[in-house]
């Protein structure tokens, strides 16, 4: 049972990491233009303007 | 830049500029013509080459472009507009309304809460499953307590953060001495958490942390989807407002002209309105005479002559002469003051409507709470200790906690408003669906609602093509809306040279020594012919033309929407009675009513009269849908049980309407009612599903057999069932 002392914090840490990533993605406005984002992925264009600028 | 188009640059954009980080200046544009990702990419790529812009990003969902200039000195909105035009798009300056900004913030808050709840739910479930299986296979008591403590450590802060939307709403509702759905939800969450903490501290077997957090998570999904749909709808609505480009031309004290946003004009300032422009302000005419078309304001289609000293209203169209108007305070104008008083009255009356969900909550809460109390008393009499009896009665409350009930209505709302969005209907308020479903009478305004806002030639077939072509060429030289209609019908694109315009009379030109005139029948010496035409088309405005001895008289009127008749028939087929209430004269209203087969109609009605008629109908127990677009319709829109405006409507009307219909078609009105009825049916079904679920779950809980495992299964199962059922609102095709 002692293994729990390691496993549970590990599980929690991984969950928290996911949550952190999610909150970060909201903060960086990734949910503002859901339609556009879905297309940006497949647009065959390496030099999309704002990647170059930011 | 070589692509800059010539454009008068006296426009003032300061209203639209907002500061951005690092001294940058930001401005938003609504872009008309973006349809796909390729358009968006093309725009972004083009703007990427501009050195003075630090950011240019297209939001495809909202069809907007955001640009940021490096610093204030480089700000140049006209160049952005010109650049867009060169790419084949039309840009309109846009300012994010405060309300929209706060809605966006609310949505972000909900998504964050959802994320936190999701994280918590997964982790607690991990622990809970261990406990459940451990209970069967001999998990040590210490290990179970340890798991429960960790669950509590996650669940309590999560509930405090993610449960806020429900708690806040419940408190608000209780303060107003009412019960809404969030009251039993909040109570359920708090009880589940409370009893779980008690169990944990007493190293008990049953903790409901997973159930409480799962409840929050499921309900938040409903809220987030609802909010997203609403925001999408509102974004479209405010884009349309920007497309109408509410700008006015100010006359500065030194006599120069400047084009500014209508919202920035202040009382006492002077504005210039040219012929063919819509008047953007309420005010007093200071100089100039003209005719104005007031159809958007009063519903009256006959034009009114105006002169200095007369009041004009925002939304009217200036037809023939240039006007200088002194801006008045909105409330100072008599018509608007009267309409605002009517509005305040009407809005007050409607506040009495109770949403279906809240009605369900009011019926549900007492039953469940009584059941819980009886359970407690029953087990006490049976001889159980008061702690155990209390524990069982609280599980009754937890298991009946309206997870399914909380989702039953929002889920349908989201799906139905999505279905409406695809049919060009924008839903302003969620509960409008329920109200729309109850409607049994539809009252239409005529002008701009049953008819289209742009006039066309009614007697096109009676006019020789040759004359129409000539008239069209001549009409190209005027911005008068009637002339525009003739020019469009004539299909001409080469105007005559040396056209003289006599204000208020008409146009004159000479082509190979032939004199051509276009204008009022008197101006063209065509009174006799005009009389004959006016008998055939009593409701139309007449424009005559003379070319030597050839004379033609055009009867011009606002045409009925193409599918108006079919829509009225469809509405009647749905069992609704239809009426017209118009501010226009009797003759045109009667002719429209006859064409559409509507028996009940009233003409020349004042705004107050429309409200009075609606109240009369209400007194008869009717539920009325009002469809209207004018300023004069606004009080009636607010007074009706539910209301719809076309997007061409005035701002005041749109603000009062529960739904907006886009495009030239009237059919969405019938579609909206059909979808709403189907949605309403699904809502009721869902509520019954929730009742059935309770009928099964409550006896189990009363018997004391509801373990946290049973609760978790029951909650997720019932939520899935009602959500799946709600999806059926997508398919509201055909007759329902």
pLDDT tens digit sequence for B320-368: 888 899 887 644 456 666 777 777 776 666 556 677 877 887 888 888 8
Domain shared by B89 and B109, yes or no: no
User: What separation, in Å, do the N-terminal and C-terminal C-alpha atoms of chain A show?
Assistant: 50
Length of chain B: 736
Q: pLDDT tens-digit profile of B232-258?
A: 887 887 787 777 666 788 888 888 888
CB-CB under 8 Å, B122 with A15: yes
Least confident of B167-176, B189-198, B460-469: B460-469
Q: Does residue B31 sit within a domain?
A: yes
pLDDT-derived band at B402, boundaries 50, 70, 90: low
Q: Domain containing B177: what range?
A: 98-266
Do the domain assignments include residue B666? yes
Instruction: Give the minimum alpha-carbon distance from B130 to chain A in angstroms, rounded to a whole number.
Output: 12
Asked if A52 has any chain B CB less than 8 Å from its own CB, the reply is yes
Tell me which of B374 and B228 has the higher pLDDT. Answer: B374
B40 in A contact zone (CB under 8 Å): yes
pLDDT on residue B154: 93
CB count within 10 Å of CB B480 equals: 25
A23 CA to centre of own chain: 8
| Residue B713 and residue B722 in contact, taking contact as beta carbons nearer than 8 Å | no
Q: Is the pLDDT of residue B4 over 50?
A: no
Which pLDDT belongs to residue B351?
55
We report the CATH number of the domain holding residue B229 as: 1.20.120
Residue B23 lies in a domain: yes
Residues B195 and B116 in one domain: yes
As a whole number of Å, the end-to-end CA separation of chain B is 58
Three-class DSSP labels, B319-384: CCCCEEEEECCHHHCHHHHHHHHHHHHHHHHHCCCCCHHHHHHHHHHHHHHHHHHHHHHHHHHHCC
Contact state of B44 with A49 under an 8 Å Cβ cutoff: yes
B74 touches chain A (CB under 8 A): no
Residue B685 lies in a domain: no
Q: Which residues of B are catalytic?
A: 445
Nearest to B41 among A11, A43, A53 (CB): A43
Contacts of B140 in chain A (CB under 8 A): 1
Digit-coded pLDDT (tens) for B698-714? 888 888 887 888 888 88
Per CB-CB distance under 8 Å, the chain B contacts of A40 are 37, 41
> For chain A, what's the residue count?
54
Cβ distance B44 to A40 less than 8 Å, yes or no, reads no
Last residue of a domain, one of B95, B125, B140: B95
| Claim to verify: residue B591 and residue B495 sit in the same structural domain | no
Strands (E), B5-88: 18-19, 25-32, 53-59, 64-69
B111 touching A (Cβ < 8 Å): yes
Both structure tokens of A6: 């390691």
Instruction: Rank A28-37, B389-398, B463-472, B621-630 by mean pLDDT and report only the highest.
Output: B621-630
ipTM rounded to 2 decimals: 0.79
Task: Assign residue B483 the CATH number of its domain.
Answer: 3.40.1110.10
Q: How many CB atoms lie within 10 A of CB B326?
A: 16
pLDDT at B732 over 60: no
Question: Which of B220, B238, B266 lies at the terminal end of a domain, its last residue?
Answer: B266
Q: Is residue B116 located within the same domain as residue B262?
A: yes
Same domain, B548 and B592: no
Candidate from A43-52, B279-288, B654-663 with smallest mean pLDDT: A43-52
Above 80 in pLDDT, residue B643? yes
In a domain, B247, yes or no: yes
Number of domains chain B is built from:
4
Let me know whether B603 and B632 are in one domain.
yes
Residue B548 · residue B537 · CB < 8 Å: no
Cα separation of B91 and B79, whole Å?
11
What is the arithmetic mean of pLDDT over A8-22? Answer: 90
Helix, strand, or coil here: B84? helix
Determine which of B152-156, B353-357, B564-568, B726-730 has the lowest per-residue pLDDT on average: B353-357
Within a domain: residue B257? yes
Among residues B244, B266, B288, which one ends one of the domains? B266
**Does one domain contain both B261 and B112?**
yes
- The three-point CA angle B19-B25-B31 to 5° equals 110
Per-residue model confidence (pLDDT) at position B573: 92
Specify whether B585 is located in the same domain as B622: yes
Q: What is the pLDDT of residue B329?
A: 62
pLDDT of residue B620: 92
Sequence-distant (6+) residues with CB within 8 A of B606 are B583, B632
Please compute the mean of the pLDDT values over residues B390-396 and round it to a whole number. 84
Q: Is the pLDDT of residue B569 over 70?
A: yes
Cα distances from B4 to residues B39, B40, B87, B704, in angstroms, run 20, 20, 11, 78
User: Which is it for the CA torsion B457, B644, B590, B293, positive or negative?
Assistant: negative
Instruction: Assess whether B580 and B441 both reside in one domain.
Output: yes
Q: Do A33 and B62 touch (CB under 8 A)?
A: yes
Mean of pLDDT over chain B: 84
With a cut of 60, say whether residue B225 has pLDDT above it: yes
| Rounded Cα–Cα distance for residues B452 and B560 (Å) | 6
Measured distance CA(B161)–CA(B183) in Å, rounded:
17
CB B293 within 8 A of CB B451: no
Question: Which residues of B are less than 8 Å from A11 in CB distance?
Answer: 123, 126
- Residue B378: per-residue pLDDT: 92
Kindly state whether residues B49 and B118 are assigned to the same domain. no
Closest-CA distance, A26 to chain B, in angstroms, reads: 7
Confidence of residue B587 (pLDDT cuts 50, 70, 90): confident
Question: What span, in angstroms and rounded, lies between the C-alpha atoms of B526 and B505?
Answer: 13
**Does A4 contact B115 at a Cβ distance shorter than 8 Å?**
no
Q: Of residues B404 and B162, which shows the higher confidence score?
A: B162
Determine the average pLDDT of the residues in B262-281: 82
CB B233 within 8 A of CB B109: no
Task: Examine residue B110 and state whether it is found in any structural domain, yes or no.
Answer: yes
B76 with B160, same domain: the answer is no
pLDDT at residue B567 in the model: 93
B262: pLDDT strictly greater than 80: no
Residue B128 lies in a domain: yes
B655-670 average pLDDT score: 87
Are residues B242 and B124 part of one domain? Answer: yes
**From the CA of B44, how many Å to the nearest CA of chain A?**
6
Smallest Cβ–Cβ distance between A19 and the set B104, B116, B140 belongs to: B116
Q: What digits encode the pLDDT tens for the residues B6-49?
A: 444 567 788 788 888 888 888 988 888 887 888 888 888 888 88
User: Which pLDDT belongs to residue B5?
Assistant: 38
């Amino acid at each position: 049972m002692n293994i729990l002392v390691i496993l549970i914090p590990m599980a929690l840490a991984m969950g928290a990491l996911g949550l952190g990533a999610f909150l970060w993605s909201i903060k960086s406005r990734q949910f503002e233009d859901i339609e556009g984002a879905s297309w940006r992925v497949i647009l065959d264009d390496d030099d999309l303007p704002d990647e170059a600028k930011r | 830049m070589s692509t800059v188009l010539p454009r008068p640059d006296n426009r003032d954009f300061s209203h639209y500029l907002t500061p951005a980080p690092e001294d940058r200046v930001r401005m938003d544009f609504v872009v008309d013509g973006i349809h796909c990702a390729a358009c968006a990419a093309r725009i972004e790529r083009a703007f990427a080459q501009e050195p003075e812009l630090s950011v240019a990003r297209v939001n495809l969902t909202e069809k907007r472009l955001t640009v940021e200039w490096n610093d204030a000195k480089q700000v140049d909105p006209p160049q952005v507009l010109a650049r867009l035009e060169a790419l084949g798009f039309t840009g309109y300056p846009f300012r994010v309304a405060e309300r929209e900004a706060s809605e966006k913030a609310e949505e972000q808050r909900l998504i964050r809460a959802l994320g936190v709840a999701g994280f918590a739910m997964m982790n607690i479930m991990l622990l809970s499953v261990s406990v459940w299986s451990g209970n069967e296979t001999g998990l040590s008591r210490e290990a179970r307590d340890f798991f429960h403590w960790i669950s509590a450590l996650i669940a309590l802060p999560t509930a405090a953060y993610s449960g806020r939307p429900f708690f806040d709403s419940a408190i608000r509702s209780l303060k107003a001495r009412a019960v809404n759905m969030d009251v039993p939800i909040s109570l359920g969450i708090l009880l589940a958490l409370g009893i779980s903490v008690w169990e944990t501290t007493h190293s008990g077997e049953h903790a409901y942390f997973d159930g409480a957090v799962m409840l929050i998570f499921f309900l938040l999904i409903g809220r987030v989807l609802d909010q997203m749909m609403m925001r999408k709808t509102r974004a479209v609505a405010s884009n349309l407002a920007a497309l109408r480009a509410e700008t006015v031309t100010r006359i500065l004290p030194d006599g120069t002209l400047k084009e500014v946003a209508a919202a920035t004009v202040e009382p006492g300032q002077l504005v210039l309105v040219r012929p063919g422009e819509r008047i953007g302000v309420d005010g007093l005419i200071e100089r100039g005479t003209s005719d104005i078309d007031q159809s958007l304001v009063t519903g009256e289609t006959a034009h009114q002559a105006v002169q200095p000293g007369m009041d004009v209203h925002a939304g009217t169209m200036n037809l023939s002469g240039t006007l200088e108007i002194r801006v008045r305070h909105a409330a100072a104008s008599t018509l608007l003051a009267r309409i605002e008083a009517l509005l305040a009255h009407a809005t007050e009356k409607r506040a009495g409507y109770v949403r279906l969900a809240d009605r369900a909550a009011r019926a549900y809460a007492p039953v469940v709470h009584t059941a819980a109390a009886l359970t407690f008393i029953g087990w006490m009499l049976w001889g159980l200790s008061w702690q155990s009896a209390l524990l069982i009665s609280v599980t009754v409350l937890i298991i009946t906690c309206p997870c399914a009930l909380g989702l039953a209505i929002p889920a349908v709302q989201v799906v139905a408003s999505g279905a409406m969005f695809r049919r060009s209907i924008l839903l302003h308020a969620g509960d409008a669906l329920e109200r729309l479903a109850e409607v049994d009478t539809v009252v239409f305004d005529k002008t701009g609602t049953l008819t289209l806002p742009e006039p066309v030639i009614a007697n096109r077939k009676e006019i020789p093509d040759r004359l129409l072509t000539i008239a069209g060429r001549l009409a190209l030289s005027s911005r008068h809306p009637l002339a525009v209609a003739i020019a469009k019908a004539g299909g001409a694109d080469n105007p005559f040279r040396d056209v003289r315009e006599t204000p208020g009379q008409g146009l004159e030109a000479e082509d190979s020594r032939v004199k051509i005139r276009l204008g009022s029948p008197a101006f063209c010496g065509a009174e006799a012919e005009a009389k004959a035409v006016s008998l055939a088309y009593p409701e139309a405005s007449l424009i005559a033309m003379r070319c030597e001895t050839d004379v033609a008289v055009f009867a011009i009127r606002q045409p009925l929407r193409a599918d108006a008749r079919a829509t009225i028939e469809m509405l009647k087929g749905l069992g609704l009675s239809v009426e017209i209430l118009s501010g226009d004269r009797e003759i045109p209203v009667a002719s429209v009513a006859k064409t559409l087969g509507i028996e009940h109609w009233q003409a020349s009605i004042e705004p107050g009269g429309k409200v009075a008629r609606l109240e009369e109908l209400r007194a008869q127990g009717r539920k009325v849908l009002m469809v209207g677009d004018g300023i004069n319709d606004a009080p009636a829109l607010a007074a009706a049980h539910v209301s719809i405006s076309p997007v061409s409507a005035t701002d005041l009307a749109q603000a009062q309407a529960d739904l907006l219909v886009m495009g030239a078609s009237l059919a969405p009105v019938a579609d909206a009612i059909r979808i709403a009825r189907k949605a309403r049916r699904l809502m009721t079904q869902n509520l019954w599903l929730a009742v059935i679920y309770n009928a099964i779950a409550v006896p189990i809980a009363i018997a004391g057999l509801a373990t946290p495992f049973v609760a978790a299964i029951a909650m997720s199962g019932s939520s899935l069932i009602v959500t799946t059922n709600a999806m059926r609102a997508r398919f509201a095709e055909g007759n329902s």
